[in-house]
Amino acid sequence: MDAQTLLGTAPDGQVASAATRLAGSSGWHGTGRGDTALWGLCAGSGKNPYQVCVDLADRAAKCSCPSRKFPCKHALALQLRDVREPLPAGEPPAWVAEWLDRRARPAAAVDDSPEAVLRRARAKEKTALARQDAVRGGVAGLTDWLADVAGSGIAGLPSRDGAWWRSIEARMVDAQARGLAAAVAGVRDAVAAGGPAWAHDAADRLGGLHLLARLAGSSALADVVRRRLGFSVAEEEVRAGAGWADRWVPLLKLESDDGLVRTVRQWVWGRERGWVVVVRHEGGGGRPTPPLAHGVAVQGVLHPYPGAPPHRVAVGEVAVGGPVGPVDAAPSWREALAGLEAWLRADPWERLHPLGCAGVRLTGDTAHLVDGTGRGLPVRADVALDQALAVTGGAAFDAWGLWDGHSLRLGAVAGPGRAPEVLG
């Protein structure tokens, strides 16, 4: 199993990122591999290291850490270490042999009595309530932090040192609200970016955090708020749910790198369903392959995660469906932007939106894309823009890109009535 496949088994991006970092840590000792298992000891926050072992037959894992995610970051990191350089061969220690022996025994019959089912349901409910209580405490801490920022004013944020920012981010992580930690990091990045608009951008993000904290305890936008707080849904659970059959066109893509994990996001247009988003992560310095191939239409089923449109989806059964063909685009930027209203009402924290407009031209300074009514949007000056000029030769073209509220990141172009060509 290669690194990309292993990271695909992570329950979420945070575990994939943490495992990639941990795989290169010097805190491992006592690692080894046998014919049937991997094992190792990993230093943790306590005095005793975590005992980690993986059954090579089915990649089942056991770890003495308190994580409720499977696989945890330690089990995933141990496997990544073995992929990069095979662990030393040896005989498994007693604690590994005992675990393998227990797994080899015939499974006891599941107690399906009403009492046992009720006990399991209560245990699951208790775990969920404990997580909710932890997140509720994190939201309360964030509310106090926001009040302090408002009281002292955002003008002082550039003078705050890294430890000040890290303390609130760590507090959100400890509260199992990684979504809030990421949102605080977004405020920090807006401040660090500087420039004439930094205060506006920081205030916008702080306002979004305030709204999220306000809605955390309400039923409004429940699925979206849970996702923004950091509650995740396993991809296997999503794939087991209802799917959307359509003819899909992978049209826009964006790669990002947090230093540990590279992520590629694809905005895919369905002829019946409209826009959806597919995400793939890759660690270990690798470059992720887009889940769906660009340049061809895909016939198949995508499974939506809970949330608001454009939904994130998990890829189900798909097959190449032939040429792409023309793709719909709004007749003007005004109509394209007006179409975002429903999305923003459903998820006011989303900052990247797919837009398409027919019959646009670049201005002489290539700073704006102007539609047939004479209205224009600022466009990012990057490689995709150069490619668009080469493809269109200065003639009018249909354009699709990602709008962040400031400028359009061009992603695909097409001649009138023709199939779009993906850029970048």
Where in the sequence is the domain holding 397, given as residue range(s)? 333-422
Examine residue 327 and state whether it is found in any structural domain, yes or no.
no
Amino acid identity of residue 279, one-letter, is V
Q: What is the per-residue pLDDT for 391?
A: 85
Question: Do 339 and 301 have their domain in common?
Answer: no
Angstrom distance (rounded) from CA 229 to CA 306 = 14
Examine residue 29 and state whether it is found in any structural domain, yes or no.
yes
Token output for 293: 């191939």
Examine residue 180 and state whether it is found in any structural domain, yes or no.
yes
Question: Do 356 and 417 have their domain in common?
Answer: yes
Examine residue 109 and state whether it is found in any structural domain, yes or no.
no
Examine residue 349 and state whether it is found in any structural domain, yes or no.
yes
Across the chain, mean pLDDT equals: 90
Question: Do 250 and 310 have their domain in common?
Answer: yes
Q: Which one of 104, 139, 170 terminates a domain?
A: 104
Examine residue 110 and state whether it is found in any structural domain, yes or no.
no
- List pLDDT tens digits, range 197-222: 999 999 999 999 999 999 998 888 89
Percent of the chain with pLDDT over 90: 62
- Model confidence at 167, in pLDDT bands (50, 70, 90)? very high
Question: Do 92 and 61 have their domain in common?
Answer: yes
CATH code for the domain in which residue 268 is found? 2.40.50
Q: Omega into 71 within 30° of 0, i.e. cis?
A: yes
Q: Omega into 49 within 30° of 0, i.e. cis?
A: no
How much is the average pLDDT of 172-190?
Answer: 92
Residue 285 pLDDT > 90 = no
10 Å CB burial of residue 37 (0-12, 13-18, 19+) is: buried
Question: Do 94 and 66 have their domain in common?
Answer: yes
Examine residue 223 and state whether it is found in any structural domain, yes or no.
yes
Place of tokens 């059954």: 55
Q: Which one of 322, 344, 362 terminates a domain?
A: 322
Question: Do 261 and 342 have their domain in common?
Answer: no
Percent of the chain with pLDDT over 70: 97
Q: Which one of 205, 229, 253 terminates a domain?
A: 229
Examine residue 361 and state whether it is found in any structural domain, yes or no.
yes
Q: What is the per-residue pLDDT for 107?
A: 63
Domain tally, the chain: 4
Question: Do 82 and 30 have their domain in common?
Answer: yes
Question: Do 89 and 190 have their domain in common?
Answer: no
Question: Do 172 and 76 have their domain in common?
Answer: no
Helices (H) and strands (E) in the chain, counts: 13, 15
Instruction: Report the half-sphere exposure of 162 (CA within 13 A, side-chain side).
Output: 0
Measure Cα distances from 417 to 324, 326, 399 in Å. 12, 6, 12
- List pLDDT tens digits, range 333-379: 999 999 999 999 999 999 999 999 999 999 988 899 999 999 999 99
Our CA angle for 400, 195, 402, nearest 5°, is: 10
Question: Do 251 and 211 have their domain in common?
Answer: no
Report the SS3 class of residue 116.
helix
Token output for 251: 């049209």
Question: Do 170 and 214 have their domain in common?
Answer: yes
Question: Do 204 and 173 have their domain in common?
Answer: yes
First to last CA, the chain: 30
Our CA angle for 403, 244, 274, nearest 5°, is: 30
- pTM beyond 0.75: the answer is no
